Amino acid sequence: MKQKFSSMIDRYTHQQLRIGLVSPQQISTWSKKILPNGEIVGEVTKPYTFHYKTNKPEKDGLFCERIFGPIKSGICACGNYRVIGDEKEDPQFCEQCGVEFVDSRIRRYQMGYIKLAYPVMHVWYLKRLPSYIVNLLDKPLNELEDLVYCGPDERKLSRPIFRGGRSYPNFYFARPIDKKPTFLRLRGLLEYEIQPWKYRIPIFFTTRSFDTFRNREMSTGGGSIRQQLANLDLRMIIDYSLVEWKELEEEESTGNEWEDRKVGRRKDFLLRRMELAKHFIRTNIEPKWMVLRLLPVLPPELRPIYHIDEDKLVTSDINEIYRRIIYRNNTLTDLLTTSIATPEELIISQEKLLQEAVDALLDNGICGQPMRDDHNRILQVAFQM
């Protein structure tokens, strides 16, 4: 979650948890490990926990011993045993199941990751106040939400936009991916702003050519936010914000209380924007890290499963949300890679479902209706407990 969970613990004084933004490369470093045979593991690709017959962790699942380490110290998934730390014992891992012969306490801190099929917005930096994304992009929250959650701009449109029998959300003009002449250049539409489809796309486009045009030069969902954040020049933001603030500071009072308050709010916003840009520069953090490409999977010991009896399990709610994320992510991956002629609205809908599932993991209910289990109970996540 492009989030840095670094725990600084002094057993005799206090415990402290620090949370901050990190790069996808850092998340990869935390989560991936190289087995003695050279194989790289760490990606969780299956939404399973334990096999219902053997009660052993499923391979590449949320409790996989190859990824997170053995459940019992020095014992692999096959049941073989090696003395930990004995250099004479060879090999250091089981060649059959790929589990290392290490201390089981590794499952307290070894992380995994989910490779997201599509960029997902980190909801904390969009929804919580102050909104970092709103401050940096200087755009209304509801406008950005239309992009992230793939919804039409109903403030401008009386009904959803349809083209060739399909409905489309708002979009963001992405930079052309090559140097060939494009429709945007020929028409002079070079302002990369959020637009409703209806007022920007000519009606004479055929559905087929329109889809080609969209895939080439438009962006929706979390990917559109990531592109805008990646294109930001933080030093230019500071300079322009300072110039605008000075201009507003020099203006005299209008005598209209509402207008004067509006100017005051704008000045306060510009100050926050400058401070935020300075913070990103000072800490060497890139704004685009607020959009997730890799989603960390917490160590198994932080989200345990308990066996009540042979047939019943008690599990952390976080596992259920992770399962839904993986299901939706795998479905989107199939739509993008294996399916032929998948309807565009189906892909957009699946992107939205993936975004909502990750939102629930980070802060269930922050976007409205919380995610619930099969018994209609609201699922509790780590940061709400």
Quick: pLDDT tens for 160-203: 344 444 444 555 554 444 444 455 544 444 444 544 444 455 54
- Could you give the angle at the alpha carbon of 193 between the alpha carbons of 184 and 231, nearest 5°? 95
Residue 61 belongs to domain spanning: 39-110
The angle that helices 221-230 and 141-148 make with each other, rounded to 10 degrees, is 120
Torsions phi, psi for 9 (to 5 deg): -115, 130
Quick: pLDDT tens for 46-56: 999 888 788 88
pLDDT tier, 317 (very low <50, low <70, confident <90, very high otherwise)? confident
* Within-domain flag for 169: no
State the pLDDT at residue 234: 94
* Within-domain flag for 80: yes
Domain count, the chain: 1
Q: Is residue 274 scored above 90 in pLDDT? A: yes
* Within-domain flag for 49: yes
Amino acid type, 183: F
* Within-domain flag for 12: no
Cβ(186)–Cβ(221) below 8 Å: no
Using CA atoms, how far apart are residues 382 and 353, in angstroms rounded to an integer?
21
* Within-domain flag for 63: yes
Residues in the chain: 385
Cross-sheet strand order for the sheet of 218-219: 194-195, 171-173, 218-219
Torsions phi, psi for 77 (to 5 deg): -65, -25
* Within-domain flag for 66: yes
Q: Give the H or E element holding residue 132.
A: helix 132-137
pLDDT tier, 74 (very low <50, low <70, confident <90, very high otherwise)? confident
Cβ(58)–Cβ(51) below 8 Å: yes
Q: Is residue 5 scored above 80 in pLDDT? A: no
* Within-domain flag for 178: no
* Within-domain flag for 16: no
